[in-house]
Structure 1
Amino acid sequence: MAIKDSDLEFTHDITINDCKNRYLLTKGATQQQIQKETGADVTTRGKYYPDKLLATEKDPPLYLHVTASTKEALNAAINKIGELMEQTFTPAPSTPTPRPPGQHLGVGTNFSIRQFVQDKVFVGIEPDRTFNARAKIVGPQGAYVKHIQQETGAKVQLKGRGSGYVEPTSGTEAFEPLHIHITYVLDRLVRY
């Protein structure tokens, strides 16, 4: 049986576990755009590990599996993924743009409203000298909290008894039970 070039499939794996843009690269819309532009299929495989040493052969670190019917399509997809991996994003201004003096809000004027959303997730574990709940929640060098903040854009802080967080107003830990304090900033554009 003869094998035709059209029967061949070219593949390549790109590790993105430690890539700052991994969230963008794992989005279905991004992968569909790469397929549309290059003709190659991109799928997310593996698992995100804040510490890659925890990865196993069965559960490897997060990566993209790229397949294409031609070497050219594969290379185009690899190059596009490389561009996205290196892309830096400039955050949008978080405060409303000031109006020139004398300009008033009129009908049809757009302006931004910044709203802070806060919530607490109680851990349900009382401080115990034999079990360091703080270390288990925060992770090695704060890796778990940093990962949540990077993926969601929310500010995450462990607070309450046993957290080690000293409240600026009282100079001591909060008397509340151990909890994860989450703050998220919503910037909404409002048309007046």
Structure 2
Amino acid sequence: MNHQTHQPIEQQLDQALRTLDLDTFHRLGEQADRDDATREARLTAPDALANAARWYVSQGIPVFPLMPGEKKPYPGSRGFKDATTDLSQVNRWWTTNPQANIGVPTGGLFDVIDIDGEQGALSYRELAGTDVIPTIYGKATTGRPCSRHLYIAATGDGNSAGVWPGIDYRGAGGYVVAPPSRTARRYDWEQPLDLAGLKAATK
């Protein structure tokens, strides 16, 4: 059996380039382009946000709707306190507002380190690789350049602003905007959420 086919395509491309296997490199490059186009079409489809909300719920992650293109809950709602894994309620929300962004509460399965803008990126560069930053189980780009959400195991801590320059902490009583929501830019998974790792870490 060819185990290479089970490697991520980026690793296969790198291996083909290192071995000067240009035929394989070009074939894999074309496959990567097709995969990217398919993924982009899925994430920009009219039901993309609804499908993503359903996926989070299927994984046991509560969700609640945010105003389209924004990080704010709908007026008159209870925000993250409305978050649920009730699929029928989620279907009603996103049938009524199919372009609603997706909010997920923090402090349950995960907390989030919020790296905001260039200052946050500089702080994170200094802290990365130290024991200050715990194990990261998912990483998402956000609506701002140089900004990231780092998903870590829940600690029981609450929210804190400015824990380091340009870095906030979202824990119990907080929430974040989840991919593929869109504000100025689309939120996207840079490192897919490791739910198995999170669940093992929070037992």
TM-score by length of 1: 0.28
Larger-Rg structure: 1
